Amino acid sequence: MNDRNIGEYRLNVDDIPKKLNDIHAGDVVYLSGTVYTARDAAHKKIISLMEKGEKLPFDVCGSAIYYAGPTPEKDGQVIGSCGPTTSSRMDMFTVPLIEAGLCAMIGKGKRSKAVIDAMKKHGAVYFCAVGGAGALAASHITSSDVIAFPELGCEAVRRLVFKDFPLIVGIDASGQSIVR
């Protein structure tokens, strides 16, 4: 990373593809809009559907996936604690999703060279969410619906709506990274 000033952005998920050249590793982003949760088991099922040419639970192109498995909501809550999980566990499934147009991933930790290369080639960004702050994350989620694989429990695919969800650009579309 160079010595440039850290930027701060308020973005909607739909704006990410247009802003890929503007946001850089280390920038702070407050993200709003629709995001989908998917962890290991859901990724495996999504990739299986892709390989069979079957319909996916959501349109991957232009989408953002949050690597999270939220806890059950309590009375009066939209969602329970919803912190990020370790992103590298999804690396074996990620390249085909980026090739299909996935524009953003949200999680914590490192990414493989193959994922970073796909991000650079196809245009995607990796956001880091603060680990251990699931309650804070949940306070920025205004809607949560299970849309696929309910048998996976907390790992079911959910459609979330974020409102100013605080993130840091961990790896930008040029491959620059703050993730060590």
Q: Provide the CATH number for the domain around residue 155.
A: 3.20.130.10
* 140 is annotated as an active-site residue: no
pLDDT 10s digits, 49-102: 999 999 999 999 999 999 999 998 888 899 999 999 999 999 999 999 999 999
Res 34 pLDDT > 80: yes
In a domain, 63, yes or no: yes
- Which of the residues 24, 43, 122, 140 is marked catalytic? 43
Q: What does the pLDDT read at residue 81?
A: 92
If we measure between CA atoms, which residue out of 163, 160, 172, 5 comes closest to residue 80? 160
In a domain, 31, yes or no: yes
Res 1 pLDDT > 60: no
Are 57 and 10 within 8 A, CB to CB?
no
In a domain, 2, yes or no: no
Helical H segments across 105-147, by residue range: 113-122, 134-138
Res 113 pLDDT > 70: yes
If we measure between CA atoms, which residue out of 16, 47, 12, 66 comes closest to residue 172? 16
Res 2 pLDDT > 60: no
In a domain, 3, yes or no: no
Which amino acid is located at 46 in the chain? I
In a domain, 12, yes or no: yes
The structural domain count of the chain equals 1
In a domain, 176, yes or no: no
Q: What does the pLDDT read at residue 90?
A: 97
Answering whether pTM is above 0.75, one says yes
Which amino acid is located at 117 in the chain? D
HSE (side-chain half, CA atoms, 13 Å) at 22: 12
pLDDT 10s digits, 127-166: 999 887 888 899 999 999 999 999 999 999 999 999 999 9
Quote the domain boundaries for residue 97.
8-171
- What confidence category does residue 3 fall into, taking pLDDT thresholds of 50, 70 and 90? low
Q: What does the pLDDT read at residue 114?
A: 98
In a domain, 178, yes or no: no
In a domain, 51, yes or no: yes
CA angle, 126 then 130 then 136, to 5°? 125
Query: Per residue in 90-111, is it b (16+ CB within 10 Å) or e — as a string?
Result: bbebbbbbbeeebbbbbbbbbb
